[in-house]
């Protein structure tokens, strides 16, 4: 395999591919998912539907995701069938697009892709935006049973992972990793009683995987970051985490689809859970004398 080639080349599509296929609404569904849930209404790719990470993907009561019945209803409203090619894109270098992609994979949707470069690249190229909200015929979707165990890690599994000295990747900012902040820089500092990182984790901020134009770095560059710098390899069982599991879904995507790691899980409980647990191992360099 050439050094520049991704493990799964077809998981990424170009902005031109989307422009060429956005009217194939019987086969392809474009999905916008952003951190800023109001951004879609200001202008989006024609025929793109909006999936709100708060209202659509998360359970309204429990700290969990929607169930199979709710997912089927969401797919029906969006006009997505089991065999639909779903292409995700969004703001913040596709950070939330990969989060939606990850949730779709919890339910086993087969053909999921990411538009490389996201909103940033589409807009930079001067491509068409619209405020018109598309409407598609409702579908009957048959979801698979949620396969959390394959790509999702829970706190007890993370603790066992720590005790076995298996690799963890903390994708938050360096300030959060060091325990100086409890949230992203520039954001309200709330969500956890303790700062720092999970014992034994290495720091690789999620955004290092992205080039200046919003596209993913080459496979060779990514291997240099994760393998050359941190010693990861496809043979290892890796868990990625952040604060609530969204930034780490981006790293999960990079390791799983672009570098071909077969055993990567996203710990969506992340620091909001771990930083509030009693008795779990935390390393906090900011508190060291």
Mean pLDDT of the region 106-119: 97
Whether 277 shows a pLDDT value over 90: the answer reads: yes
Pick the CATH number of 9-146 from 3.90.650.10, 3.40.250.10, 3.40.640.10, 3.20.20.70: 3.40.250.10
Candidates 210, 249, 239; CA nearest to 103 is: 249
* Domain coordinates in residue numbering, the chain: 9-146, 150-287
pLDDT score at 3: 52
Whether 288 shows a pLDDT value over 70: the answer reads: no
- Residue 90 sits at φ, ψ, to 5 deg, of 180, -165
CA distances from 71 to 50, 109, 166 (A): 14, 11, 33
Residue 22 C-alpha from the chain's centroid: 23
- Do 9-146 and 150-287 have matching folds? yes
Q: Which of 51-60, 107-116, 215-224 has the lowest mean pLDDT?
A: 51-60
Given a contact cutoff of 8 angstroms between Cβ atoms, the answer to whether 248 and 206 are in contact is: yes
pLDDT score at 189: 63
Catalytic annotation, residues? 242
Whether 275 shows a pLDDT value over 90: the answer reads: yes
Whether 209 shows a pLDDT value over 70: the answer reads: yes
Mean pLDDT of the region 175-183: 91
Given a contact cutoff of 8 angstroms between Cβ atoms, the answer to whether 250 and 257 are in contact is: no
Mean pLDDT of the chain: 94
Candidates 53, 55, 39; CA nearest to 131 is: 39
Taking residue 38's Cβ as centre, other Cβ atoms within 10 Å add up to 8
pLDDT score at 2: 43
Question: Using one digit for the tens of pLDDT, what is the confidence trace for 19-67?
Answer: 999 999 999 999 999 999 999 999 999 999 999 998 999 988 888 999 9
Q: CATH homologous superfamily for 150-287?
A: Rhodanese-like domain (3.40.250.10)
Whether 4 shows a pLDDT value over 90: the answer reads: no
Distance CA 280, CA 269 (A): 14
Give residue for tokens 């990747």.
Answer: 169
Given a contact cutoff of 8 angstroms between Cβ atoms, the answer to whether 261 and 154 are in contact is: no
pLDDT score at 60: 84
Question: Using one digit for the tens of pLDDT, what is the confidence trace for 75-108?
Answer: 999 999 999 999 999 999 999 999 999 999 999 9
Mean pLDDT of the region 154-162: 97
Whether 183 shows a pLDDT value over 90: the answer reads: no
Q: Using CB atoms within 10 Å of the CB of residue 34, give its burial: 0 to 12 exposed, 13 to 18 middle, 19+ buried.
A: buried
Mean pLDDT of the region 154-171: 98
pLDDT score at 144: 87
Q: Which regions of 222-269 does DSSP assign to beta strands (E)?
A: 238-241, 264-267
pLDDT score at 73: 97
> Which has the higher per-residue pLDDT, 289 or 31?
31
Contacts of 69 (CB under 8 A, 6+ apart): none
Whether 203 shows a pLDDT value over 80: the answer reads: yes
Question: Using one digit for the tens of pLDDT, what is the confidence trace for 133-151?
Answer: 999 999 999 988 888 889 9
Given a contact cutoff of 8 angstroms between Cβ atoms, the answer to whether 35 and 52 are in contact is: no
Distance CA 176, CA 171 (A): 9
Percent of the chain at pLDDT > 70 equals 97
> Which has the higher per-residue pLDDT, 223 or 193?
223
Distance CA 177, CA 170 (A): 7
Given a contact cutoff of 8 angstroms between Cβ atoms, the answer to whether 166 and 236 are in contact is: yes
pLDDT score at 190: 66
């Amino acid at each position: 395999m050439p050094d520049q080639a991704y493990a799964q080349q077809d998981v990424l599509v170009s902005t031109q591919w989307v422009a060429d296929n956005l009217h194939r609404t019987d086969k392809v569904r474009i999905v916008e998912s952003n951190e800023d849930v109001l951004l879609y209404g200001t202008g989006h790719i024609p025929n793109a539907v909006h999936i709100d990470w708060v209202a659509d993907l998360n359970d309204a009561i429990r700290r969990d995701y929607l169930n199979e019945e709710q997912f089927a209803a969401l797919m029906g409203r969006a006009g997505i069938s089991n065999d639909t090619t779903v292409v995700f894109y969004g703001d913040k270098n596709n950070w939330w697009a990969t989060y939606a992609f990850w949730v779709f994979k919890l339910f086993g949707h087969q053909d999921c892709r990411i538009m490389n470069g996201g909103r940033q690249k589409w807009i930079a190229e001067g491509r068409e935006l619209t405020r018109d909200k598309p409407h598609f015929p409702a579908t009957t979707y048959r979801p698979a049973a949620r396969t959390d165990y394959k790509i999702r890690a829970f706190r007890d599994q993370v603790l066992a992972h720590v005790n076995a000295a298996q690799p963890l990747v903390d994708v938050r900012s360096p300030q959060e990793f060091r325990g100086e902040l409890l949230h992203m820089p520039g954001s309200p500092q709330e969500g956890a009683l303790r700062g720092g990182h999970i014992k034994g984790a290495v720091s690789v901020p999620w955004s290092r995987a992205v080039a200046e134009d919003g596209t993913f770095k080459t496979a060779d560059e990514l291997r240099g970051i994760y393998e050359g710098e941190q010693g990861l390899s496809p043979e290892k069982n890796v868990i990625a985490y952040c604060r609530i599991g969204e930034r780490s879904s981006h790293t999960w995507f990079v390791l799983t689809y672009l570098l071909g790691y077969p055993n990567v899980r996203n710990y969506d409980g992340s620091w909001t859970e771990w930083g509030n647990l009693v008795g779990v191992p935390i390393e906090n360099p900011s508190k060291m004398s």
